[in-house]
Homo-oligomer: A and B are copies of this chain.
C-alpha cells in the first residue's frame, strides 16, 4: 500500500522565527537580553506547546540575536527553557489574583474556573506546556510543583475550603480540590487536543461541575 500521493511536507511543526533588527544593549544592560530571550522562548512555547520543539537557535532568531548570545545568560538549553517555563507559571499564577476582589467563595470559584478555562483557550500553548506533558526539567520539576503550581493548588484548596465551610460541608478540601482540578483539566485539555469534536458550551460544563461537586451554596 505504498501508492500514496500525499505531497511532501516539512516534517515537524517546529516554530520558526524571523530575525528582528536589534541594537546592542548599552553596557551594564546586558540583562535585558536575558529577558528578551525568556520572552521569545515563552512565545515559541505558546505556539509550539512542546518544549522539545523550541530550539536555542529559534529563540535566538526570535530575539534577533546570534545563537551564541544566549550562552552569556544561560548555561545551556535546559536552563533557558526552565526560565521560560518559570515565566509561563508566573503568568498563570495571575489567575487567582484577578479574582481576588470577589468575596463570595462560590462566585469566586466560578470565576477562577472560567479564568482557568480562558487561559487554556487563549494561551493554549502555554497551558499545555505547564500542565499537559511530563515536566521535562528535573530540577525545575521540584521547584514548579512546590512553588508555582503548588502555590496555585494551595490557593485552590483554600478557596474550596471556604466553600465547604460556608455550607457546613465536612468533606476534605484537598480531596475535593483534586476533583475540581482533574475535571477542569480534562475539559480544557480534551478540548484543545480534540478540537474537532462537538463540545458542549464551556460555561455549562463549568457550572455543572460546581453543582455536581456540591460547590454551590445550599439554599
Contact = CB atoms under 8 A, between A and B. Distances in A.
The bracket for how many chain A residues form the interface is: 35 or more
Nearest to A8: B76
A196 B138 CA distance: 12
Contacts of A152: none
B134 A49 contact: yes
A6 B186 contact: no
A60 to B, nearest CB: 15
Interface in A123-168: 128, 131-136, 139, 141-142, 145, 149
Interface stretch (A66-74, A98-106, A107-115): A66-74
A72 B2 contact: yes
Identical copies of this chain, number:
2
A50 B49 contact: no
Contacts of A12: 52
Nearest to A79: B4
A133 B179 contact: no
Contacts of A91: none
A185 B186 CA distance: 5
A218 interface: no
Nearest to A83: B1
Contacts of A197: 145
B187 A2 contact: no
A53 interface: yes
Given A75-B6, A178-B205, A185-B186, A196 B141 contact: yes
Nearest to A180: B186
A175 B200 contact: yes
Interface of A: 1-4, 6, 8, 11-13, 49-50, 52-53, 71-79, 128, 131-136, 139, 141-142, 145, 149, 175, 178-179, 181-187, 189-190, 192-197, 199-200, 205, 208, 212-214
19 contacts: A2-B74, A2-B75, A3-B75, A4-B75, A6-B75, A6-B76, A6-B79, A12-B52, A13-B136, A50-B133, A52-B52, A52-B53, A134-B192, A178-B205, A181-B190, A182-B187, A183-B183, A183-B186, A212-B214
